[in-house]
Chains A and B, each alone.
Chain A
C-alpha cells in the first residue's frame, strides 16, 4: 500500500503540531520519521492511523482518499510506545483482539495466533498475563497484535524507547526482518538517529512540524541538506567560511587546504564528520584539549589554529594513545567534505 500525504496541517489549541507536510511512502518500504521531542512525529503517525483528524490536507492510500475515514476502516496497525497492551487480557487474548473484532472463526483465530507467536518468537507465552512479561516481550506481543490482523500499513511509534540498549538493537533487527518478510508498508517514528539509519529504507527528518529533508540513510548521513539535519545526524564540525575569489577562481580554505568550488551562493558551511579526520605526518598541528573515550573509539577535542575540532580515532592498543596537551598532526580528505549553503 502506498501512502500519500498532501499539505497536512494539524493544530492543538493554537499550537501547530504539523505545519504543511507533504510526503509519500512507497509501497513496501520502511520509512523512518526522525526528529527531536515535540516536533510532531506522533501526531503525523496518528493522523495516518486516523486516530487524530487533520485540520487541512489529504491522505491517500493507493490513490484513494482516506482523509475522512475513521481509524477502524484504515487497516493501519500501530505499535505504541508504551505498548498499549490490554492489561485485563492475557497474551493470546491481546493478539486475538483484532481478529475477534473482525468476527474471525475461532479455529482460524487459534491458528493465526499460534503462527504469529512463532513469528515473534513467543511460543508458549499465550497464557501469560501482560503484567508478567518483560519490556521486550511486551513489545513483541504488541507487534504480534498488529501483525495478526494482516494490516496494509504498519505504524511504529518509538517502539523501542523503553528498552535497554542491547535489547533495542536485537529488537530492531527483528522488526526489520519481519517487515522485510511481510513486505508491509511501514512508518517508523524515532528520535534516535542510529535507529533510523539502521532500520529505514528512507528517512524523513522533521523539525517543529516541518520536513527538513527526505532521503536514504546515506544521503541523510553524508549529504545533509541543511544545518538542522547535519546537526541531528551528528556532524560536529561545522565551519562557516567565506568564499575567496582569487584570479577569477573561487575556493575556500580549510586548514591551509584550498578547495575549489563550483558556482555557489555567498555564504557556505563546511561540514566534516569527526571520523573523517586522520592522523597524518603531512597534516597541520593540533593541540588535544580533551579526550572522551567511548570504547572502540575516542572523541578528541582539538584546537587547530583558531578552530575547535572534534575528531574520532579508533582505539587500538598497538597504536597507543594520546594524552591531553599532546600535539598531533591532523589531515582530512577533500572528498570527505560536505558543503551546504546558508547563513548561520
Chain B
C-alpha cells in the first residue's frame, strides 16, 4: 500500500532539496565549471596542469603514507582497546580520543618545539641544526591526528564482531593466527577499507599542516591556499582544486556505493562479549605496548602544548610566563565566543536537518531520494577548503549570488559581508553527520510504529514530535556532539569566508602558528581544547539531567495515577 504524504511534508521536502541544490551542488559545480570553463582556462594548458600534477604527486605521497600508517594503527588500537582486557584500558580509551578536540595541525606546535631548528631534541639534545620541514613532518603530524579517526571508525565496527564465527573456526581446528588471518580480518575488511578511504580524504584535505611544517614540500590543498591568499591567482587555484577533487570524489564514491554494501556486520547488537578469553602473552604484550606508546605520543603532544603556552619564547627564552594566556583573556577572547556560537548553531541545525532528511528518505518514500542522499553526503567528500572556494565562486555576487542578475552593473563583491555564509557552509557540511546518525537509528525502528500512530488518529506533525522525535533524541545528541566537536576545530571550509568581525579561534591559531609565534599558538590551542572539553562535559551533564528529570516526572505521574 502506498502511503500518501501530506502537502506539508512535500513542501518541506521541496525546501530541503532546494537547500541541498543551492548550498551544496551549486558550489561544487561552480568549482568544476570555474576550473574548466573560465576564459583561457589553465586546465588545458600543459604548464598549469604540470604544475598541479607535481602537487598531486606530493599530496598522494603524503596521503598514501598517512592512510597506510594511520589505518594500521587504528586497527591495532581498536583491537587492543576493545578486545583485550587489561588494567587502565578505560583511561586509554578516553585519551585516544583527545586529538578530536584539536585541529590536526596543532601537532606541529609540539613538533616544532621538539624537532624544529631550535627544538628540544634536534637542537639541544643532538646538537643538530637540520630542517625538520618536509613531508615526514606532515606524515607524523597527520598520523597522530588521523589515527584517532581511524580508531573510532574501526572500533564502532569491531564492537559488532560475531565471536561465534571465531569460535566456529577454532572448533574446526584453526589456531589463533589462522583465525585472525582467515576470519577476523577478512570480515572487517570492508570497514577497514572504508576507514582507509575516509582517512585518505581527511589527509588530502588538510592544507594547514603542509603550510606550517611542509617547507618547500606543498600539497594540492596547501597550494590552493597559497594561490588564493598569497598570489590571488584564482585560476591556478581552480586547476589545483579540480585535480584535488577528482581523487577525493573517487574515494568517496567507492566508499559510499561499493564498500558499505559489502559489510558483513549485522546491525543487531550481539550481547556476547568480544574480549578474547585467552590470548597469547606475547601478542598481548606487543599490542598493549604499541597502544601505550602511541598514546604517549598523544600525551607528549599535549604536554608540550601546555609547556609552550607558558614559555616566553621557545628555543630562546625559557622563562615561565603568563603573558600568552593573559593576552588571550584580556584582548582576544572574541574568537572563542565566535567559535562556540558557530559550532553550537551549525551543529544543532545541521544535525536536525540531517536527521529530518534521513527520516523523510527512509520513512516517507519520497521521489528523488537517492539524489537527496547523494547531495547531502557530498560535502563529506569535498575537501573543506575546496568547498569554501566553491562558496566563494558561487556566491561572490550580492544576496547569495542572485544579485548577479539584479545589480548587473555592480562588480562582484566577495560575499557582500554576510556573516551568515559561514553558518550556511557549516550547516551544509554537518547535514551529513545528522544523516548518518539518523540512518543508524532508523534501521532499528519499525515504520509500522508510525502507521500505528496514524491509526490512532494522530496527525503527521503530531506523530513526528510525539513518536519519532523522542526516539531520535539520542541519535540527535550523538550527532550534535560529533558536529560540535568538529565545528570547534573546522578551518578549511570557512577560511576564505571569514571576516575580521567573525574570526574564530582555529583561524587565530593557524595564523599565529603560521606566523611562527609558537607560544601564543600553544596558548590558544590549549584554551580551545579545554573549552571544547568543558562544553562537551556541560552538554553531557545537561542531557543527562533532562533525561533524569523525565524519569522522575514519569514516576511521579505514575504515582499520581494511583492516588
A residues at B contact (CB < 8 Å): 46, 49, 51-53, 70-72, 75-78, 80, 82, 84-88, 97-98, 101-102, 145-146, 149
Q: Answer yes or no: B164 CB below 8 A from chain A CBs.
A: yes
Across the interface, do B172 and A101 meet the contact criterion of CB distance under 8 Å?
yes
Across the interface, do A84 and B170 meet the contact criterion of CB distance under 8 Å?
no
Q: Which residues of A contact B448 (CB under 8 A)?
A: none
Give the CA-CA distance A53 to B167 in the complex, in Å. Answer: 13
Across the interface, do A72 and B175 meet the contact criterion of CB distance under 8 Å?
yes
Q: Which of B164, B172, B175, B264 contacts A88 (CB 8 A)?
A: B264
Across the interface, do B186 and A88 meet the contact criterion of CB distance under 8 Å?
yes
Q: Answer yes or no: B533 CB below 8 A from chain A CBs.
A: no
| CB nearest to B171 among chain A residues | A78
Given A86-B165, A87-B264, A88-B264, also A51-B186 (CB < 8 A): no
Q: How far is the CB of B162 from chain A (nearest CB, A)?
A: 8
28 contacts between A and B (CB under 8 A): A49-B171, A51-B171, A53-B277, A70-B170, A71-B167, A71-B170, A72-B170, A72-B173, A75-B173, A76-B171, A77-B171, A78-B168, A80-B164, A80-B167, A82-B164, A84-B164, A84-B165, A84-B167, A85-B168, A86-B165, A86-B183, A88-B186, A88-B187, A88-B189, A88-B264, A97-B174, A101-B172, A149-B173
Q: Answer yes or no: B169 CB below 8 A from chain A CBs.
A: yes
Q: How far is the CB of A49 from chain B (nearest CB, A)?
A: 6
| CB nearest to A93 among chain B residues | B182
Q: Which residues of A contact B171 (CB under 8 A)?
A: 49, 51, 71, 76-78
| CB nearest to A155 among chain B residues | B171
Q: How far is the CB of B440 from chain A (nearest CB, A)?
A: 20
Q: Which of B172, B187, B278 contacts A149 (CB 8 A)?
A: B172
Q: Answer yes or no: B557 CB below 8 A from chain A CBs.
A: no
Q: Answer yes or no: B474 CB below 8 A from chain A CBs.
A: no
Binary flags per residue of B446-480, CB closer than 8 Å to A gives 1, else 0 = 00000000000000000000000000000000000
Give the CA-CA distance A102 to B187 in the complex, in Å. Answer: 21
Q: Which of B165, B167, B173, B183 contacts A51 (CB 8 A)?
A: B167
| CB nearest to B165 among chain A residues | A84
Given A51-B167, A84-B165, A97-B169, also A72-B174 (CB < 8 A): yes
B residues at A contact (CB < 8 Å): 162, 164-165, 167-175, 178, 182-183, 186-187, 189, 264, 277-278
- Nearest 10 pairs of A and B residues by beta carbon: A98-B172, A84-B168, A84-B164, A71-B170, A87-B264, A78-B171, A101-B174, A101-B173, A51-B167, A72-B173
Across the interface, do A97 and B167 meet the contact criterion of CB distance under 8 Å?
no
Across the interface, do A102 and B173 meet the contact criterion of CB distance under 8 Å?
yes
| CB nearest to A73 among chain B residues | B173
Q: Which of B168, B182, B186 contacts A80 (CB 8 A)?
A: B168
Give the CA-CA distance A182 to B173 in the complex, in Å. Answer: 20
Give the CA-CA distance A72 to B178 in the complex, in Å. Answer: 11
Give the CA-CA distance A85 to B171 in the complex, in Å. Answer: 12
Q: Which of B164, B172, B264, B277 contacts A77 (CB 8 A)?
A: B172
| CB nearest to A130 among chain B residues | B264
Q: Which residues of B contact A88 (CB under 8 A)?
A: 186-187, 189, 264
Q: Which residues of B contact A82 (CB under 8 A)?
A: 164
Give the CA-CA distance A149 to B170 in the complex, in Å. Answer: 13
Q: Which residues of B contact A84 (CB under 8 A)?
A: 162, 164-165, 167-168
Give the CA-CA distance A319 to B30 in the complex, in Å. Answer: 86
Across the interface, do B170 and A51 meet the contact criterion of CB distance under 8 Å?
yes
| CB nearest to B188 among chain A residues | A88
Q: Which residues of B contact A52 (CB under 8 A)?
A: 277
Given A51-B171, A77-B172, A88-B186, also A101-B178 (CB < 8 A): yes
| CB nearest to A149 among chain B residues | B172
Give the CA-CA distance A49 to B166 in the complex, in Å. Answer: 13
Across the interface, do B172 and A145 meet the contact criterion of CB distance under 8 Å?
yes
Give the CA-CA distance A70 to B172 in the complex, in Å. Answer: 12
Across the interface, do B165 and A98 meet the contact criterion of CB distance under 8 Å?
no
Q: Which residues of B contact A49 (CB under 8 A)?
A: 171
| CB nearest to B265 among chain A residues | A87
Q: How far is the CB of B354 from chain A (nearest CB, A)?
A: 30
Give the CA-CA distance A236 to B296 in the complex, in Å. Answer: 66
Give the CA-CA distance A52 to B171 in the complex, in Å. Answer: 11
Q: Which residues of A contact B264 (CB under 8 A)?
A: 87-88
Give the CA-CA distance A117 to B44 in the complex, in Å. Answer: 61
Q: Which residues of B contact A102 (CB under 8 A)?
A: 173
| CB nearest to B183 among chain A residues | A86
Q: How far is the CB of B424 from chain A (nearest CB, A)?
A: 42
Give the CA-CA distance A86 to B185 in the complex, in Å. Answer: 12
Give the CA-CA distance A233 to B499 in the complex, in Å. Answer: 80
| CB nearest to B264 among chain A residues | A87
Q: Which residues of B contact A149 (CB under 8 A)?
A: 172-173
Q: Which residues of A contact B168 (CB under 8 A)?
A: 78, 80, 84-86
Q: How far is the CB of A66 from chain B (nearest CB, A)?
A: 14
| CB nearest to B169 among chain A residues | A97
| CB nearest to A87 among chain B residues | B264
Q: Which residues of B contact A97 (CB under 8 A)?
A: 169, 172, 174, 182
Q: What 7 new A-B contacts, CB under 8 Å, besides A72-B174, A97-B172?
A: A70-B170, A71-B167, A76-B171, A86-B169, A87-B187, A97-B174, A101-B173
Q: Which residues of A contact B164 (CB under 8 A)?
A: 80, 82, 84
Q: Which residues of B contact A51 (CB under 8 A)?
A: 167, 170-171
| CB nearest to B167 among chain A residues | A51
Q: Which residues of A contact B172 (CB under 8 A)?
A: 77, 97-98, 101, 145-146, 149
Give the CA-CA distance A97 to B167 in the complex, in Å. Answer: 13
Give the CA-CA distance A49 to B168 in the complex, in Å. Answer: 10
Give the CA-CA distance A239 to B91 in the complex, in Å. Answer: 61
Q: Which residues of B contact A53 (CB under 8 A)?
A: 277-278
Give the CA-CA distance A292 to B168 in the complex, in Å. Answer: 43
Q: How far is the CB of B169 from chain A (nearest CB, A)?
A: 7
Q: How far is the CB of A76 from chain B (nearest CB, A)?
A: 7
Q: Which residues of A contact B189 (CB under 8 A)?
A: 88
Give the CA-CA distance A301 to B168 in the complex, in Å. Answer: 47
Q: How far is the CB of B148 from chain A (nearest CB, A)?
A: 28
Q: Which residues of B contact A72 (CB under 8 A)?
A: 170, 173-175
Q: How far is the CB of A244 from chain B (nearest CB, A)?
A: 50
Q: How far is the CB of B467 from chain A (nearest CB, A)?
A: 31
Give the CA-CA distance A130 to B437 in the complex, in Å. Answer: 29
Q: How far is the CB of A132 from chain B (nearest CB, A)?
A: 14
Q: Which residues of A contact B169 (CB under 8 A)?
A: 86, 97, 101
Which of A51, A80, A82, A145 counts the most B-chain CB atoms under 10 A from its CB? A51
Give the CA-CA distance A51 to B165 in the complex, in Å. Answer: 12
Q: How far is the CB of A271 from chain B (nearest CB, A)?
A: 38
Give the CA-CA distance A87 to B264 in the complex, in Å. Answer: 7
Give the CA-CA distance A46 to B170 in the complex, in Å. Answer: 12
Give the CA-CA distance A51 to B168 in the complex, in Å. Answer: 9
Give the CA-CA distance A67 to B182 in the complex, in Å. Answer: 27
Across the interface, do A98 and B277 meet the contact criterion of CB distance under 8 Å?
no
Q: Which residues of A contact B170 (CB under 8 A)?
A: 51, 70-72
Q: Which residues of A contact B182 (CB under 8 A)?
A: 97
Which of B164, B183, B187, B264 counts the most A-chain CB atoms under 10 A from its CB? B164
Give the CA-CA distance A240 to B515 in the complex, in Å. Answer: 93
Give the CA-CA distance A52 to B165 in the complex, in Å. Answer: 15
| CB nearest to A72 among chain B residues | B173
Q: Which residues of B contact A76 (CB under 8 A)?
A: 171
